[in-house]
Structure 1
Amino acid sequence: MTALLGLMLLCLLLSTAMPRLLVRATWPEREPVLALGVWQCLVVSVLLCCGLGLVLAASAAVPAVREALFRSAPRQVVDAYGFADAGLWGAAAALLLAYGGLHTAVALAREVRAARAARSLRQAELARLAPDLPPGAGAGGDGARERLVVLESLQPEAWSLPGPAARLVVTTGALRRLSDRELAAVLDHERGHVRARHHWLLQCGEALAAGFPGVAVFAAFRDEVGRLVELAADDAASRRHGRLATALALVELNSGRGVFGTCPAQRAEVPRRVDRLLAGEPRLPVRHRVRLTAAGLTALAVPLLLALAPGLHALL
């Protein structure tokens, strides 16, 4: 059962050392979309290690599972995995990994259900407080699927409600404070969240971190996704309306909240986003982006290779 042991060791490495390297890296500030992809590859790779490990452990512990999976495989392939030598530890590993898989599914379902309920309540509240503008008013490329809602409030705010009928919400305080270009940048920022389905990533991050509070990779994934989606949306707005307009819009929306002075740590991200936009650092060279993409894809491929290695070696 060297394949199972290798998968568990790889899972340990990916869930401890790799998140630290990614959190300390500076390149995600310049490539937030690519960084989101690498983080997703890392998390999926950890889940792959657990899933493939569950398949191998279940094959060792339950002969019926082994016969179903290896029915058409040559005898030397089955022998190469060493299922007969697994003993009690194979059964224990299968039970532990099965519990982890069930726990993950329950946590994700609970998070999705809670997010949908909160979104429905907020949509109902918006419908009560403010009528929709005519179809197409303030809409972007999504046309009829996107509506702009103006909410009466002195506080300058803007946010989005994703879903089949996406809503972009802006308060009258924001309309009064922002210039036309700044308002357009804010709306494109929110459209960036909706179009990229950032809420799915946030829900997955929350579910994994809540379901496994002691696993570093899931906690880091939740925190970094929350930061990177904002940077990615900032870039989407700045490409169309300029970095200065996007930075000024951030300042106007947050100037009355005490985020630019001595402020709590969770609010310190807004000044960093403004500084990043004003600095205007260029994107990474293409060769660096290719290397990082290859590294993320490699993280996905290694668990598969480890799981298949004994069988392939036996065939060769």
Structure 2
Amino acid sequence: MTVLIPVLVAGVVIVAAVGGPTLVRSASPLLMRIPRTAILVLTGSLLLWLLAPVSLSLMAAWTVTGPSLLPAPFADVCQQCLDAANPFASNTVDTAIPVLLLLILPVLGLLTLIGVGVPRWVRRARSTRSASQGISGRARSTSIDGHRVLLLDDSRPIAFSLPKRSGGIVISDGLCAALEPDELAAVLSHEQAHLRQHHHLVLTLLDTVAWPLRRVPLVSAIVDVIPHYLEIAADNAARSRAGTPALASALLKLGAPAGPPPSAPGGALLGMKLHAAGPDRIGHIVAPSGVGSAVLPASVLGIQLAVFVVVAAAIHGPYLRAVVAGCGLVP
């Protein structure tokens, strides 16, 4: 069992990495009906999948013995902590792998993610702040239909939202002229939902954490699909306030995205844009597809998430309990 369990966990990690994109695509008709739940499941699956290799390394530290890299007193303390955390018996496999290396690898992996992700987060924050300053300098703040907005003097129909601290909802005079009052209310409700549900934070988290691992199929699939579900979640909020016909009519009138304001650097940094989910949105709003074929893959995604939760709790829990209890060092 000491060898079989790590092998099974490793198999689940590899299968999820390679087969995950197929499940995500196949489950989409059902996930589109519950976009906020889909965001939680997919984001949780991604974070727990990233934690799984750490779990494997920590589990391996229970099951193998090898040469010690520490002086005797420190090695004894380390071994006592491992023994206190180990839920298995004394069944171990003698190898040439130092146990200390298995404990250090997760730390090195975390430091690598931080080293790559934090500078990316800093660059994103600076670019968004720069875009916000450029927009604030040429927009006037006003209230429309109960929403505080930045109104651009631009004939194009523009609508997007920045993080709240960076300006919030941004629309143009051209948008107000192109839409009827109920259609404009639907668009404003859509953008307000992005702010209320903290969608910018979700995108920032994904961009910071997942970007270094974007070549992994599962990571790439989740990062690509979550913006779609964020848009659908905002659409649902708009439909509940302004009605489905108003939102669908607004999207039809707006047609192709107008693009960012001329002085804004990079549309991707301007936050949530009204057309980010692509042309299938109106079809989903008016006539959602059937979910029958998506039930099985969605269930497998849920089971996969549950497996990752159990693995994380079963492996990290004993280590945390051992540390809190002092590894048995304190009588």
Alignment TM class, shorter chain as reference? 0.7 to 0.9
CA-CA distance at 1:53 after TM superposition: 2.7
1:241 corresponding residue in structure 2: 242
2:178 corresponding residue in structure 1: 177
CA-CA distance at 1:250 after TM superposition: 1.3
Return the alpha-carbon distance in structure 1 between the equivalents of residues 215 and 241 of structure 2.
Answer: 41
1:273 corresponding residue in structure 2: 281
CA-CA distance at 1:176 after TM superposition: 0.3
**1:162 pairs with 2:172:** no
Amino acid at match of 1:124: Q
Amino acid at match of 2:18: T
Whether the 8 Å CA contact 1:48–1:303 is kept in 2: the answer is no
Structure 1 range deviating more: 58-67 or 94-103: 58-67
Return the alpha-carbon distance in structure 2 between the equivalents of residues 163 and 255 of structure 1.
Answer: 25
The alignment partner of 2:97 has SS state of helix
Structure 1 range deviating more: 123-132 or 295-304: 295-304
Whether the 8 Å CA contact 2:41–2:302 is kept in 1: the answer is no
2:323 corresponding residue in structure 1: none
Q: 1:42 aligns with which of 41, 45, 48?
A: 45
The structure-2 alpha-carbon separation of the partners of 1:50 and 1:75, relative to structure 1 and needing over 3 Å to count, comes to closer
Q: 2:126 aligns with which of 113, 117, 121?
A: 117
Return the alpha-carbon distance in structure 2 between the equivalents of residues 239 and 69 of structure 1.
Answer: 58
1:18 corresponding residue in structure 2: 20
Return the alpha-carbon distance in structure 1 between the equivalents of residues 286 and 195 of structure 2.
Answer: 24
Aligned residues: 291
Amino acid at match of 1:158: A
1:314 corresponding residue in structure 2: none
Return the alpha-carbon distance in structure 1 between the equivalents of residues 86 and 141 of structure 2.
Answer: 67
The alignment partner of 1:270 has SS state of coil
Return the alpha-carbon distance in structure 2 between the equivalents of residues 304 and 79 of structure 1.
Answer: 20
Return the alpha-carbon distance in structure 2 between the equivalents of residues 301 and 103 of structure 1.
Answer: 23
Return the alpha-carbon distance in structure 2 between the equivalents of residues 70 and 235 of structure 1.
Answer: 54
The structure-2 alpha-carbon separation of the partners of 1:152 and 1:58, relative to structure 1 and needing over 3 Å to count, comes to farther
CA-CA distance at 1:98 after TM superposition: 4.2
Structure 1 range deviating more: 120-129 or 197-206: 197-206
Return the alpha-carbon distance in structure 2 between the equivalents of residues 183 and 195 of structure 1.
Answer: 18
Return the alpha-carbon distance in structure 2 between the equivalents of residues 139 and 65 of structure 1.
Answer: 65
Return the alpha-carbon distance in structure 2 between the equivalents of residues 28 and 275 of structure 1.
Answer: 15
1:262 corresponding residue in structure 2: none
The 5-angstrom pairing of residues 1-316 of structure 1 reads: 2=3, 3-25=5-27, 26-57=29-60, 64=74, 67-68=77-78, 71=81, 77=87, 79-80=89-90, 82=92, 85-88=94-97, 97-133=106-142, 138-140=145-147, 147-164=148-165, 166-255=167-256, 269-279=277-287, 295=303, 298-304=306-312, 307=315
* CA deviations over 1:146-192 (Å, ceiling 9, x no partner): x3100011110101111436511000110100111111111111111
In structure 2, stretches of 5+ residues that fail to align are 259-274, 320-331
- Provide the aligned C-alpha RMSD in A: 3.8
Return the alpha-carbon distance in structure 2 between the equivalents of residues 272 and 69 of structure 1.
Answer: 57
Bigger share in helix: 1
Whether the 8 Å CA contact 1:138–1:148 is kept in 2: the answer is no
CA-CA distance at 1:107 after TM superposition: 3.1
The alignment partner of 2:255 has SS state of helix
The structure-2 alpha-carbon separation of the partners of 1:304 and 1:75, relative to structure 1 and needing over 3 Å to count, comes to closer
* CA deviations over 1:26-61 (Å, ceiling 9, x no partner): 211222112112102211221221232343456767
The alignment partner of 1:87 has SS state of coil
Report 1 or 2 for greater relative contact order, CA contacts < 8 Å, sequence distance ≥ 6.
2
In structure 1, stretches of 5+ residues that fail to align are 141-146, 258-266, 312-316
Whether the 8 Å CA contact 1:33–1:228 is kept in 2: the answer is yes
CA-CA distance at 1:105 after TM superposition: 1.9
* CA deviations over 1:87-131 (Å, ceiling 9, x no partner): 328677666544432232233313321221122112111221012
The structure-2 alpha-carbon separation of the partners of 1:50 and 1:31, relative to structure 1 and needing over 3 Å to count, comes to same
Return the alpha-carbon distance in structure 2 between the equivalents of residues 96 and 24 of structure 1.
Answer: 35
CA-CA distance at 1:253 after TM superposition: 2.1
Return the alpha-carbon distance in structure 1 between the equivalents of residues 191 and 97 of structure 2.
Answer: 53
